Amino acid sequence: MGAFRGLFFFFLFFPGTLAGSFSHSMRGFYTATWDPSQAQPQVAIVIYVDDQLATQYNSSTRQALPQVYWMEKMDEHIPSFWEVNTLKGQRLELRLKKTLENLKERSNQSTGFLTFQLMTGCEIRKNGHKEGYHQYSYNGRDFLSFDPKTQTWTAADLEAQITQRQWDGDVDYSRHVMYYVEEECPEDLQRFVEYGKESLLRRETPVVTISRKAYYDGLETLLCRVHGFYPKEIDVNWKRDGEVWVQDTFSGGILPNADGTYHTWISIEVEPKERDRYRCHVEHDSLEEPLVLAWEDRGSVWPLVGGVLGAVVGVLLVAAGIILYKKKGQEATEEEPQVEDPLMNG
C-alpha cells in the first residue's frame, strides 16, 4: 500500500514508466482540501485517459467538462453523457467533503492544511488483462484501499480502521466500487480509446542519439537520449556484449514534450577501453525492430572526409589544368604569323 503516497503528483508530472508492453489506462484523481480560511472543503477531479487529460470537475464550476477535443462530442455517442458525469461528480464531491470533515472532527484538528485523496481507475494490457484499483490517502499518506477479491477495505493504520469498519458495513458502496473497477471503468476505457483513437493510437518513432563525456578519474559516461516518441511505453537499456547491463546505469523518467510526444534518457559509466562493448537498446511500439546503437567517435570520420575532399580537389585541379592547357593552345594558334607557301604562289 505504500505505493500510493504521492501518486497524485507522480502521475500528473511523470505520466508513464519504462514498460515493455503497450497498454491503455484510465486514472481518476479526486482531491478534497481544507484550510482554516475556507468555510468548507474544496474538491477537484481530473480524469486521464492514457496520458491525456480528458475530464475535469471542481467545486467552483460543479460541472464535468471535456479537456481534450475528442471528448467534446461524447454526447453524440452517449446521450446525456456530460449531464450524467456532472451528477457523478457532484455525488463524489459530497462524499469526499463529508469524509474529510469527519476525519477533521475525529482528530480534533482545527488548524493546518488537510487533504483527502482518491485514486481510482483501471488498465487494459496488450494481452487483454484488466486490472482496477480504488485507493484513498489522507494528508499525503496511505489510508484505505479496496480489495476487489474480497470486496473489503484494508486500513493502512489505526486511524483508518474506524473508517474501514464503517465502510465494510456499507455493502452498497462496496458493491458500487466493485462494479466500477471491474466493469464500468474497463468498458468506458475501451469506448474512449475507440473515440479518441486518432490521437491515442498514433505512433511516433523515437529518435536516438548517444553522447560521451570523459572524467578526470579515467572513467567516461555514455548517455543515450531518446526523444519524440509516442505512446509513452518504451524499453530503453544498455547492453554489454548483448546482455542487459544494469550496473552503473542511471535513467531519467519519461517526460512529456510540448508536442505531445515524450523523451527519456539512460546513462552508463564505462572504462574507455571497454566502450565498444556497450550498446543502447530501444524497443517501442512504433518500431518493427529494436534500435541498437553504439557510440561512434565523430573524430574518426574526418580522415574519410579529408580523403574525399582531397580526391574532389584533385579532380578539380586536373580539370582546371586541362582547361588552361587547351586555352593556351588556342591562343598560340591564333597568334601564329601567316607564312606564304611558295608553291601556292608560284
Residue 284 in this model has a pLDDT that exceeds 80: yes
Identify whether residues 224 and 167 lie together within a single domain: no
Q: What pLDDT does residue 40 have? A: 85
| Joined grid coordinates for residue 276 | 565498444
Please report whether residue 328 resides in a domain: no
Please report whether residue 317 resides in a domain: no
Q: Given CA atoms 169, 175, 180, 186 in this order, what sign does their dihedral have?
A: positive
Identify whether residues 145 and 285 lie together within a single domain: no
Domain that holds residue 277: 207-294
For 299-328, give one letter per residue: b (16+ CB within 10 A) or e. eeeeeeeeeeeeeeeeeeeeeeeeeeeeee
Identify whether residues 10 and 108 lie together within a single domain: yes
Please report whether residue 332 resides in a domain: no
Cis bond before residue 36 (omega within 30° of 0): no
Instruction: Estimate to the nearest angstrom the gap between the alpha carbon of 93 and the chain centroid.
Output: 30
Identify whether residues 114 and 148 lie together within a single domain: yes
Residue 152 in this model has a pLDDT that exceeds 80: yes
- In contact, 61 and 40? CB cutoff 8 Å: no
Q: What pLDDT does residue 118 have? A: 96
Please report whether residue 250 resides in a domain: yes
Identify whether residues 213 and 194 lie together within a single domain: no
Please report whether residue 147 resides in a domain: yes
pLDDT band at 296 (very low <50, low <70, confident <90, very high): confident
The per-residue pLDDT of the chain, averaged, comes to 83
Q: Tell me what the mean pLDDT of segment 270-293 comes to.
A: 95
Identify whether residues 43 and 24 lie together within a single domain: yes
Identify whether residues 58 and 194 lie together within a single domain: yes
pLDDT in tens, 198-212: 999 999 999 999 999
Phi, psi at residue 268, to the nearest 5°? Answer: -150, 140
Of 173, 200, 227, which residue constitutes the final position of a domain? 200
3-12, 148-157, 191-200, 330-339 — which is least confidently predicted? Answer: 3-12
Please report whether residue 303 resides in a domain: no
Residue 14 in this model has a pLDDT that exceeds 90: no
Of 181, 200, 219, which residue constitutes the final position of a domain? 200
Radius of gyration of the chain (CA): 34
Q: What pLDDT does residue 106 have? A: 84
| Joined grid coordinates for residue 5 | 503516497
Q: How many domains does the chain have?
A: 2
| Joined grid coordinates for residue 186 | 474497463
- In contact, 60 and 45? CB cutoff 8 Å: no
Q: What pLDDT does residue 341 have? A: 31
Q: Would you give the DSSP letter of residue 230?
A: B
Of 148, 178, 200, which residue constitutes the final position of a domain? 200
Q: How many CB atoms lie within 10 A of CB 173?
A: 15
| Joined grid coordinates for residue 218 | 579515467
- In contact, 46 and 136? CB cutoff 8 Å: no
343: Cα within 13 Å, side-chain hemisphere? 0
Write the DSSP assignment of 69-133 as a string of letters. GGGTTHHHHSTTHHHHHHHHHHHHHHHHHHHHHHHHHHTT--SS-EEEEEEEEEEEETTS-EEEE
Please report whether residue 159 resides in a domain: yes
Identify whether residues 178 and 276 lie together within a single domain: no
CATH code (residue 22): 3.30.500.10
CATH code (residue 264): 2.60.40.10
Give first-to-last CA distance, the chain, whole Å.
124
Identify whether residues 141 and 238 lie together within a single domain: no
Backbone torsion region of residue 139, taken as left when φ is above 0, otherwise alpha when ψ lies between -120 and 50, otherwise beta = left
pLDDT in tens, 224-248: 999 999 999 999 999 999 999 999 9
Identify whether residues 258 and 175 lie together within a single domain: no
Q: Tell me what the mean pLDDT of segment 154-164 comes to.
A: 93
Please report whether residue 232 resides in a domain: yes
Identify whether residues 75 and 163 lie together within a single domain: yes
- In contact, 323 and 271? CB cutoff 8 Å: no
Task: Compute the distance between CA of residue 178 and CA of residue 221 in angstroms, rounded to an integer.
Answer: 49
8-22, 55-69, 92-106 — which is least confidently predicted? Answer: 8-22
The pTM (predicted TM-score) of the whole model is 0.72
Identify whether residues 183 and 236 lie together within a single domain: no
Q: How is the chain split among helix, strand and coil, in percent rounded to 5?
A: 40, 35, 30
10: Cα within 13 Å, side-chain hemisphere? 11
- In contact, 231 and 22? CB cutoff 8 Å: yes
